[in-house]
Amino acid sequence: MADQARAQVLKGIGLAIAAMACFAALDTTTKWVSLSAPLMVAMFFRYAFQAVATTAIELPRQGRSLLHTAHIGLHVLRGGLLLMGGMGSLGHFIFVQAFKRTPAAVLMPYMYAQIAFAMLGGWLMFSHVPDAWTIAGMALIAVCGAAGAWLTAHESLASAEAPEH
């Protein structure tokens, strides 16, 4: 039984790494396409593709029950999923706009705020309080992010003040 549990954990870790790689490729591609096409066009095709791909995967697995149900809980879930998709789309749109106006080194420390907001959301919605190791990991990530931002700002100032030859 322990081997099965270990295999499940390893499979979960592998899937999480694959998901991160996919999201990184998706975000990078969206930013690259938005350099030569209007951002709204890039965003439309990104989310249209996601909708088509998800439907192509889930509809054969779930059948028509995915679309028709009398269960009120599933209607609420659909509303939540629509809200989640809308907020994700809006957040991504705003973030790409920020990247167009500001260097990545300046914006990255704000990305670490997502960790704190995720922790706050988990606490408010699910009464989940992270353990000491989780908080230590979040603190380490935040300190490293702040140090990286400070070093980048320090190097930028030093190069701006350096005399040209």
Domain that holds residue 117: 103-165
Answer yes or no: do 163 and 124 share one domain: yes
Answer yes or no: do 22 and 82 share one domain: yes
Cα separation, 90 vs 92, in Å, equals 5
Residue pLDDT, tens place only, 48-95: 888 888 788 877 877 776 667 777 777 788 788 888 888 888 887 888
Residue pLDDT, tens place only, 107-145: 777 777 788 888 888 899 889 998 999 889 888 888 887
pTM: 0.55
Q: 3-class SS at 70?
A: coil
Helical (H) or strand (E) element with 64: none
Q: Report pLDDT for 15.
A: 86
Answer yes or no: do 15 and 93 share one domain: yes
Four-residue CA torsion sign, 62, 64, 66, 72: negative
Answer yes or no: do 97 and 121 share one domain: no
